[in-house]
A and B are shown apart, each in its own frame.
Chain A
Amino acid sequence: KQEVTQIPAALSVPEGENLVLNCSFTDSAIYNLQWFRQDPGKGLTSLLLIQSSQREQTSGRLNASLDKSSGRSTLYIAASQPGDSATYLCAPLYNQGGKLIFGQGTELSVKP
């Protein structure tokens, strides 16, 4: 069964800290893995996409890594800001039809 686990479930940090969110998936036959951000009551915004042949992707203060063979991905957020407060979801893609399997997410709170 394809499952995705995200650790921790919730995280509260002071502004300015660097932090790491973890994602693990049971089935490594993925096309890619996306990290999304979801604000309360809102839709999902794609942050980073890592193809299965890639090891990492960077966008601004965000860096995502992928170790497909071990079924792990991490999202690194540098110099966190209160505006980063949201739920972060990782989702590997398992078929061309857009079948994403989502983790439960990490709820991040960055305190000023």
Chain B
Amino acid sequence: EAQVTQNPRYLITVTGKKLTVTCSQNMNHEYMSWYRQDPGLGLRQIYYSMNVEVTDKGDVPEGYKVSRKEKRNFPLILESPSPNQTSLYFCASSLGGAGNTIYFGEGSWLTVV
């Protein structure tokens, strides 16, 4: 089954404690990206990757890092989380191009206290 899998799905952490949200896709997709969803602000892109070792900033990259060492994985790293990073995070992947659907993971609820 075609899937984008995120872990953890739910996490409560403390300010400043580094954390990583993993994302893996089994569809051999070139393109992967991370979004955050906040009430009143909708979904906004954090980072995206067009291929292995190729990443670029989205609209709200501050406070986040990503890496793309393998095609299937695209982890999101919060080096020093702050309360304003409390949000619902989504990973997405696609083959790219105008005709291909973008698939989303189930989401990761992150609370920073």
Contact = CB atoms under 8 A, between A and B. Distances in A.
Contacts of A102: 42-44
B22 to A, nearest CB: 15
Interface stretch (A19-27, A46-54, A76-84): A46-54
A38 to B, nearest CB: 9
A98 B93 CA distance: 8
24 contacts: A31-B97, A32-B98, A34-B101, A41-B107, A42-B106, A43-B104, A43-B105, A43-B106, A44-B90, A44-B104, A49-B99, A51-B99, A53-B98, A96-B31, A96-B96, A96-B97, A98-B45, A98-B92, A99-B45, A100-B45, A100-B92, A102-B42, A103-B42, A104-B42
A51 B35 CA distance: 22
Contacts of A45: 104
A89 interface: yes
Q: Is the interface of B mostly helix, strand, loop or mixed?
A: strand
Contacts of A93: 98, 102
A88 B52 CA distance: 32
A42 B56 contact: no
Interface residues of B, number: 30
Contacts of A34: 101-102
B47 to A, nearest CB: 10
Given A43-B104, A44-B104, A99 B43 contact: no
B49 interface: yes
A9 to B, nearest CB: 11
